[in-house]
């Protein structure tokens, strides 16, 4: 090997999906594929998940939603929660994407594009349950429902979902959010909307708190085998990291070895002197991360051309590295350069 490669094991991914589903049933899984499926490559991930029978996909924006539609086929449901502007709305509606709606102006934009395109948009109204990122404030909720009723009667949209996003930082805050959420969908049901999907939780809460599961759980991290920082171990969660970053040894000195991967490939330089790799069962401290190389303590018997696992493969995980520098495993994965080839097993 002469260059770094991100190995992605789709069979392990499929096992994680089964594990997440077993824990969260009867809620259905919406696989979150934002940020190029957390750096693993959206197309291969969506194709394999579709083969495993995953029916819902959650994408951040329209560009990724269209890719997910292409990879998952016409029967999948793709939920896009950040659409901006009329052109994107039109693209989404043409591809039969479910749209998240977090404000009244956007609701009108969707209605007007749907009218022009002569289609019926499927929308999921978002209630702001306290994060204040985006979402209809509780005091504006009834007004939004009245407006959705008028537009639904006109035939330009159908309100099929109510959703929100929670911090998953404290149980008390999450409980408060859930009370607001229950009130919001209660009002939508009372107003006669035929809701198919209530969804509130991501990986952590969907795992730990059954009452947060509702109809759909929007899970990204756990399906990719990424545990939460400070949370339960992968073993407790029944998940295994699906990606391993491997790089070749390019130079050997008396006490150190150099790997052909560096910060330009996405490794945070802050890992130097704070994190360690596991090489053949030994712990090797990272001495330096430069642009295109990394210097580690010399592994026993190291030779030029040997492959070293930077994370994954049962050695330190992305989350283990992240914990050393106060970030989360997702950040390590998402930063791995798209120029590093992804090598898939189980395509
Ligand atoms: C990222 C994201 C998720 C998935 O979060 P994980 O912790 O990776 O499971 C769910 N919903 C929304 C709105 C998100 O942005």
Render pLDDT for 124-141 as a digit per residue (tens, 0 to 9): 999 999 888 889 999 999
Q: What is the pLDDT of residues 275-323, one digit of tens each?
A: 999 998 999 999 999 999 999 999 999 999 999 999 999 889 999 999 9
Centroid of ligand 1 to alpha carbon of 32 (angstroms): 6
Give the Cα separation of 321 and 275 in Å (integer).
Answer: 6
Domain 243-345 fold = Lyase, Ornithine Decarboxylase; Chain A, domain 1 (2.40.37)
Residue 167: predicted pLDDT: 85
Mutate to test the pocket of ligand 1, among 23, 29, 31, 32 (most ligand atoms within 8 A of CB): 32
Percent of the residues in the chain that have a pLDDT greater than 90, as a whole number: 93
Centroid of ligand 1 to alpha carbon of 222 (angstroms): 10
Ligand 1 residue neighbourhood (C-beta within 6 Å): 32, 34, 81, 165, 202-203, 218-221
Residues of each domain in the chain carrying CATH 2.40.37.10: 243-345
Centroid of ligand 1 to alpha carbon of 12 (angstroms): 20
Question: Average pLDDT of the chain?
Answer: 96
Residue 168: predicted pLDDT: 80
Q: Is residue 84 pLDDT above 90, yes or no? A: no
Q: Which of ligand 1's atoms lies nearest the C-alpha of 224?
A: 8
Q: Which of ligand 1's atoms lies nearest the C-alpha of 165?
A: 13
Centroid of ligand 1 to alpha carbon of 296 (angstroms): 34
Centroid of ligand 1 to alpha carbon of 331 (angstroms): 13
Domain 10-230 fold = TIM Barrel (3.20.20)
Give nearest CA residue, ligand 1 atom 5. Answer: 202
Residues of each domain in the chain carrying CATH 3.20.20.10: 10-230
Lowest mean pLDDT among 73-82, 128-137, 220-229: 128-137
């Amino acid at each position: 090997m002469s260059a770094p490669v991100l190995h992605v094991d789709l069979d392990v991914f499929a096992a994680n999906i089964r594990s997440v589903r077993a824990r969260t049933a009867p809620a259905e899984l919406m696989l979150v594929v934002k940020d190029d499926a957390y750096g693993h490559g959206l197309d291969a991930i969506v194709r394999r998940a579709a083969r495993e029978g995953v029916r819902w996909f959650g994408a951040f924006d329209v560009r990724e939603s269209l890719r997910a539609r292409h990879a998952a086929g016409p029967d999948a449901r793709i939920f896009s929660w950040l659409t901006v502007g009329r052109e994107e709305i039109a693209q989404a509606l043409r591809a039969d994407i479910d749209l998240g709606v977090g404000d009244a102006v956007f609701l009108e934009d969707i209605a007007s594009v749907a009218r022009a395109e002569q289609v019926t948009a499927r929308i999921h109204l978002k209630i702001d349950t306290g994060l204040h990122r985006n979402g209809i404030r509780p005091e504006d909720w009834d007004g939004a429902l009245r407006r959705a009723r008028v537009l639904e009667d006109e035939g330009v949209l159908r309100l099929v979902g109510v959703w929100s996003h929670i911090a998953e930082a404290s149980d008390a805050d999450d409980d408060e959010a859930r009370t607001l959420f229950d009130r919001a969908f209660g009002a939508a049901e009372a107003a006669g909307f035929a809701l198919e999907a209530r969804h509130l939780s991501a990986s952590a809460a969907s795992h730990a708190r059954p009452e947060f599961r509702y109809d759909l759980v929007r899970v990204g991290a756990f399906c990719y085998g990424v545990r939460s920082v400070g949370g339960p171990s992968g073993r407790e969660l029944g998940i295994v990291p699906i990606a391993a970053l491997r790089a070749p040894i390019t130079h050997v000195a008396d006490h150190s070895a150099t790997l052909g991967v560096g910060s330009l490939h996405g490794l945070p330089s802050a890992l130097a002197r704070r994190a360690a790799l596991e090489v053949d069962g030994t712990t090797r401290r990272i001495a330096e991360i430069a642009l295109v190389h990394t210097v580690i303590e010399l592994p026993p018997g190291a030779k030029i051309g040997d492959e070293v696992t930077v994370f994954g493969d049962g050695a330190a995980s992305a989350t283990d590295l992240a914990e050393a520098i106060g970030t989360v495993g997702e950040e390590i994965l998402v930063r791995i350069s798209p120029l590093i080839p992804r090598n898939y097993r189980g395509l």
